Amino acid sequence: MTATDPRTAHRHPEPTTLAEACDLVHTPDLDVSEDGMFGTYGGAFLPPQLEGPMREVAEAYREAREDPEFYAEYTRLLRDFVGRPSPLTPLDRLSAELGGARIVLKREDLNHTGAHKINHCVGEALLARRMGKTSLIAETGAGQHGVALATAAALVGLDCEIHMGAVDIAKQHPNVVRMRLLGTKVVSVERGGRSLKEAVDSSFEVYAANPEKYLFAIGSVVGPHPFPTVVRDFQTVVGRESRRQFSERYGTLPDAVIACVGGGSNAMGAFTAYLDDEDVRLIGVEPGGRSDATGEHAMTMGQGVPGTLHGMSTLVLQDEDGTPDPVHSIASGLDYPGVGPQHARFKELGRVEYVAEDDAAVLDAFQRLSRTEGIVPALESAHAVAHALRIAPTLGEDQTLLVNLSGRGDKDVDYVAEKLSITGDADEVVR
């Protein structure tokens, strides 16, 4: 791979289609084949009755990807509805306190609905309308994808149904209320671990029974082909923006780009623009949970083995019989026993480093960013912040870490307050 001069990195002609936009960050040995494979990972492992509907989605997306009108509407909505571009924010106080490398955030938390998820949800809603579907259906963990999809459905006039594990509903109640306010049907999944995996299973079963009505609008770069590519393509806006913004402001590229990884959508969006730049480290941060024992974490990249999950071949946390392991993360959006197949390919080729941060480090990062910089991060994003806090002091002051702050922490405030024994009582009473 050959690095591009950062001083001219943002001077490409403006793309007129989504395909052209994604070609700006295209790296053949890391990309998808025509049958949906990333090396030995990916594909579409489906029951026969879903092979036709998946071909329909793949063909409709292939056409939309090449359509200038589709891309024009998508980019207009990103600008006028989502509020893009999201800014870069240098963490001056926190960087000075730590010593070492400067930390800069890419502020996906400032998007409408408060996270990166809206980037692909707007695209999925436009695709569903183009296909003549009347409803969107999907899973959600932390509720951010659910809220974003509910928002996009309302925007384009579609019905929406979101399946959510009962454990996550209890943790993320404000997002459940937001989805219902937006007119979305919320289904509580009470079986199994009652979390993200079960929500994916449940929503996909409903979709499989009625693919004429629904578009399955998956929430990450996971699932059968073409879903990992669809979500990735819509998320590339994050990396394209940050590369242009960073090079214009600093005259160079970051020394490392850091993002949390569950399924991996925000990391995929953050990383793609830098794949050709060998001098830019790409670091994905997994949930280390409470310990490295089975059921106490969700470190798929660290402990997963090749397997099949949710219609894709990827790395999976599973037992000897191929049954997915129970998983845990303090962040509901990372509570998943698999990972996107392109991430599995990145690990195989060594282009991305995958590390883990445990719950304690994440809570500390949540507090430090809130109290030092006035930015309350999502617990998912706090995994990436935690790793930046860990490595910044070990690096030189001439180095910069770009952290993708994938979402804001409003949804996590009650849960974190309980964990930290912070009450809603006043500190002082004046009479």
Tens digits of residue pLDDT in 190-223: 999 888 889 988 998 999 999 999 999 999 999 9
Which of 167, 198, 228 represents a domain boundary (last residue)? 228
- In the predicted structure, residue 424 carries a pLDDT above the cut 90: no
pLDDT tier, 8 (very low <50, low <70, confident <90, very high otherwise): low
Residue 14 has pLDDT above 70, yes or no: yes
| Within-domain flag for 429 | no
Residue 7 lies in a domain: no
Residue 428 lies in a domain: no
Domains in the chain, number: 2
Give the CA-trace dihedral at 35, 53, 213, 147, to 10 degrees.
Answer: -20
What CATH number should be reported for the domain holding residue 44? 3.40.50.1100
Q: Is 419 a catalytic residue?
A: no
Write out pLDDT tens, residues 45-56.
999 989 999 999
Torsion angle of alpha carbons 264, 265, 271, 273, nearest 10°?
160
153 and 103 part of one domain: no
Task: Look at residue 231 and tell me whether its pLDDT is greater than 70.
Answer: yes
Asked if residue 431 has pLDDT above 90, the reply is: no
The domain boundary residue, chosen from 228, 250, 277 = 228
Residue 62 lies in a domain: yes
**pLDDT the model gives residue 1:** 37
pLDDT value at position 2? 41
Over pLDDT 70: what percentage of the chain? Answer: 96
Residues 248 and 377 in one domain: yes
Question: Is 50 exceeded by the pLDDT of residue 263?
Answer: yes
Q: Which of 124, 139, 161, 241 is catalytic?
A: 139
Regarding whether 177 and 220 lie in a shared domain, the answer is yes
Closest CA to 87 of 399, 411, 405: 405
Indicate the pLDDT class of residue 9, thresholds 50, 70 and 90: low
**How confident is the model at residue 11, as a pLDDT?**
52
Q: Is the model's pLDDT at 115 over the cut of 80?
A: yes
Q: Is 133 a catalytic residue?
A: no
Residue 9 counted as domain residue: no
Selected catalytic residue, list 86, 106, 108, 117: 117
Q: What is the rounded average pLDDT for all residues in the chain?
A: 94
Share of the chain above pLDDT 90, in %: 84
Residue 341, in any domain of the structure? yes
Question: Is 222 in the same domain as 284?
Answer: no
152 with 174, same domain: the answer is: yes
- Counted residue by residue, the chain has a size of 431
Reported as a single tens digit per residue, the pLDDT across 357-407 is 999 999 999 999 999 999 999 999 999 999 999 999 999 999 999 999 999
Whether residues 91 and 54 fall in one domain: no
b/e burial code for range 269-282 (CB count within 10 A of at least 16 → b): bbbbbbbebeebbb
pLDDT value at 10 more than 60: no
* Strand ranges in 359-408 using DSSP code E only, listed in sequence order: 400-405
Whether 417 shows a pLDDT value over 80: the answer reads yes
Mark whether 221 and 301 lie in a shared domain. Answer: no
What's the alpha-carbon Rg for the chain, to the nearest Å? 20
46 assigned to some structural domain: yes
Residues 336 and 251 in one domain: yes
Q: Rounded to 5 degrees, what are φ and ψ at 160?
A: -150, 140
In this structure, are 106 and 52 located in the same domain?
no
Mean pLDDT of 258-265: 98
Residues 6+ apart with CB under 8 A from 29: 349
Give me the domain span that covers residue 121. Answer: 16-81+117-228
**Is there a single domain that holds both residue 77 and residue 87?**
no
**Inside any domain, residue 349:** yes
Residue of higher predicted confidence among 2 and 200: 200
Beta strands (DSSP E) in 70-210 are 88-90, 102-107, 135-140, 159-165, 185-189
Ramachandran region, residue 130 (left: φ > 0; alpha: ψ -120 to 50; beta: rest): alpha
First vs last C-alpha separation in the chain: 68
pLDDT tens digits for range 295-312: 999 999 999 999 999 999
Q: Same domain for 61 and 180? A: yes
Q: Which of 174, 193, 228 is the last residue of a domain?
A: 228
Confirm whether 348 is a catalytic residue.
no
pLDDT for res 26:
59
Residue 130 and residue 45 share a domain: yes
Is the pLDDT confidence value at 78 over 50? Answer: yes
- Burial of 69: CB neighbours in 10 Å, binned 0-12, 13-18, 19+: exposed
pLDDT band at 102 (very low <50, low <70, confident <90, very high): very high
Please give the residue that has the higher pLDDT: either 171 or 149. Answer: 149
